[in-house]
Amino acid sequence: MTGEYIRQYTGLLTDWSVAAFTSATLDWLFGLHDTESHLLNVFSAMLQFTLCTFMIHELVFTLGMRKPTNTIQNTWITYLAVWQMSPKAVKKLTDAYYAFHRILYGPDASSKEQQ
């Protein structure tokens, strides 16, 4: 019983460690250039998240830390680590969201009050 908990914890810790390192590295690489185009930034961030997730999955599988039956959907902590360790990609998505929101709905109420 205790061995099963230790095995599960070790698997989660391994997934998180590999995901954190890989996603932070890719966030640094993808953050080296930033464009003024929000659309290109969204594509860049989505490419980064997708590439990072598949790289983590393949790296863990290649190193023998994953069974073939344990699919990418079973590693929930990977997605959490990728999101947390990619602040530049998250900022690109957030900035694009607010820019598109302003285009569709106009400026928010707080900016109207300041004018």
pLDDT digits over 55-105, tens only?
988 888 888 877 766 665 567 888 899 999 999 999 999 999 998 888 888
Q: So what's the pLDDT on residue 52?
A: 93
pTM of model > 0.85? no
d(CA 11, CA 17): 10
How large a percentage of the chain has pLDDT more than 90?
Answer: 38
| 70 Cα distance to chain centroid | 20
CB contact at 8 A, 92 and 45: yes
How large a percentage of the chain has pLDDT more than 70?
Answer: 85
